Homo-oligomer: A and B are copies of this chain.
Amino acid sequence: MGVTKTEIFTEKQNQLAIVLKVLAHPARIAILEYISTQEACICNDIVEEVGLAQPTISQHLKELKKIDLISGEIEGKSICYCINLQKWKEIQQLLNSFFLNTQSNCC
């Protein structure tokens, strides 16, 4: 089939999976890392930095925006992408509690 059976899982499990899925691509990891190193907000050279075609980067940015991980503000004719710190920390906590709650207790 190719479609995930979300209905049999909990809200939390699905949400965590969605967030992880967005993060689970080297290009999107690279984009996030690159944005974070930029002093100013001028983040329109992601295309050159990452090395994928412009439509591909645009698509990846869209996915990051979809879960509110980054936000884009129009700055002249370019757009400034920034990490949404609140969401960032939210995800960090989501992952932390997952890792803390899920521990081995055998073997």
Which residues of B sit under 8 angstroms from A107, Cβ to Cβ?
Answer: 41, 71, 73, 80, 82
Residue among A6, A35, A107 with the highest chain B CB neighbour number at 10 A: A107
A32 at the interface (CB under 8 A from B): yes
For this chain, the copies found in one complex come to: 2
In the bound assembly, the distance between CA atoms of A74 and B50 in angstroms comes to: 45
Taking a contact as CB atoms under 8 Å apart, the answer to whether A102 and B23 are in contact is no
Chain A interface extent, by class: 35 or more
Q: For residue A92, give the distance in angstroms from its CB to the closest CB of chain B.
A: 5
Taking a contact as CB atoms under 8 Å apart, the answer to whether A32 and B102 are in contact is yes
Contacts A20-B23, A92-B99 supplied; 17 other A-B pairs, CB < 8 Å: A5-B51, A6-B26, A9-B26, A13-B29, A13-B30, A13-B33, A21-B24, A24-B24, A33-B102, A39-B105, A41-B106, A71-B107, A84-B104, A88-B99, A88-B102, A88-B104, A95-B95
